[in-house]
Amino acid sequence: MTDRTLIRGGIVVTVDKSLGELNGADVLIEDDRIAAVGHNLSAEGATVIEAAGDIVIPGFIDTHRHTWETSIRTCAPDYTLGAYFAAILDQFAPKYRPEDVYAANQWGALESINAGITTLVDWSHIMNTPDHADAAIKGLQDTSIRSVFAYGFPNTSIQTWWFGPDYAGSVERIDGPDARRIRSQYLADDAGLITMGLATRGPNFCKPDVVRYEWELAKELGINITVHVAMDRFGYTKGQVRALKEMDLLYPNTTYIHSSHLLEDEWQMVADSGGNVSFAPQIELQMGHGWAPALEATKHGVPIGLSSDVATTAPSDQFTQMRAIFASERARRNGIAWDTDTDSTELITCRQVLEWATLGGAIVAGLGDRTGSITPGKKADIVIIDGSAVNVAPVIDPVAAVVCAADVSNVKTVFVDGRIRKQDGRLKAHLATPRKLVEASRDYLVGQVEHQEGWLTTAR
With b meaning 16 or more CB within 10 Å and e meaning fewer, what string describes 108-147? bbbbbbbbbbbbbbbbbbbbbbeebbbbbbbbbbebbbbb
Beta carbon nearer to Zn ion, 173 or 201: 201
309 is a site residue for Zn ion (CB under 5 A): yes
Q: Which is nearer to Zn ion, 199 or 414 (by Cβ)?
A: 199
- For residues 309 and 329, which CB has a smaller minimum distance to Zn ion in the complex? 309
Strands 304-306 and 60-65: unpaired
Whose CA is closest to 63, among 235, 355, 250, 279? 279
Instruction: Give residue number: closest CB to Zn ion.
Output: 309
Whichever of 284 and 309 has its CB closer to Zn ion, that residue is 309
Residue nearer to Zn ion on the CB measure, 123 or 415: 123
State the minimum distance, in angstroms, from the CB of residue 152 to Zn ion. Answer: 10
Q: Does 122 bind Zn ion (CB under 5 A)?
A: no
Tell me the window of 134-142, 304-312, 349-357, 368-376 that interacts with Zn ion (CB under 5 A). Answer: 304-312
- The reply on whether position 284 binds Zn ion by CB under 5 A is no
Dist CA 128 CA 34 (whole Å): 40
Stretch in the footprint of Zn ion (CB under 5 A) among 124-132, 213-221, 302-310, 373-381: 302-310
Which has the closest alpha carbon to 28: 374, 422, 404? 374
User: d(Cα 73, Cα 314) in Å, to the nearest integer?
Assistant: 8
Segment interacting with Zn ion, rule: CB under 5 A, options 111-119, 237-245, 303-311, 429-437:
303-311
Residues in 46-85 at the binding interface with Zn ion, rule: CB under 5 A: none
Give least dist CB 309 to Zn ion, A.
4
Q: Which of residues 362-381 bind Zn ion (CB under 5 A)?
A: none
- Distance in Å, CB of 400 to Zn ion, minimum: 30
Question: Using CB under 5 A, which of the segments 83-91, 134-142, 163-171, 308-316 binds Zn ion?
Answer: 308-316
Q: Do 385 and 402 meet the contact criterion of CB atoms below 8 Å apart?
A: yes
Stretch near Zn ion under the rule CB under 5 A, chosen from 289-297, 307-315, 374-382, 394-402: 307-315
The reply to whether 296 sits near Zn ion by the rule CB under 5 A is: no
Name the minimum Å distance from CB 356 to Zn ion. 17
β 21-30/4-13 pair status = antiparallel
Q: Report, in Å, the least distance between residue 280 CB and Zn ion.
A: 7
Nearest CB to Zn ion, comparing residues 88 and 196: 88
Please give the DSSP secondary-structure letter assigned to residue 292: -
- HSE of 61 in the Cβ direction (CA atoms, 13 Å)? 31
- Beta-bridged to residue 197, according to DSSP, are 150, 224
Phi-psi region of 212 (alpha: psi -120 to 50; beta: other; left: phi over 0): alpha
Rounded distance between C-alpha atoms, residue 159 and residue 171, angstroms: 10
Query: Least distance to Zn ion from the beta carbon of 283, Å?
Result: 8
Using CB atoms within 10 Å of the CB of residue 238, give its burial: 0 to 12 exposed, 13 to 18 middle, 19+ buried.
Answer: middle
Dist. CA 124–CA 116, nearest whole Å: 21
Nearest to 416 by CA among 121, 168, 113, 123: 113
Smallest distance from the beta carbon of 49 to Zn ion, in angstroms? 36
Residue 16 or 309 having the CB closest to Zn ion: 309
Secondary structure class of 164 (helix, strand, coil): coil
**Shortest separation between residue 230's beta carbon and Zn ion, angstroms:** 13
User: What does the alpha-carbon distance between residue 199 and residue 316 come to, in Å, rounded to a whole number?
Assistant: 19
Residues in 324-363 that interact with Zn ion by CB under 5 A: none
Does 266 engage in binding with Zn ion (CB under 5 A)? no
Could you tell me the smallest distance in angstroms from the CB atom of residue 123 to Zn ion? 6
* Residues contacting Zn ion: total by CB under 5 A: 1
**Shortest CB 213 distance to Zn ion, Å:** 21
Interface with Zn ion by CB under 5 A: which residues? 309
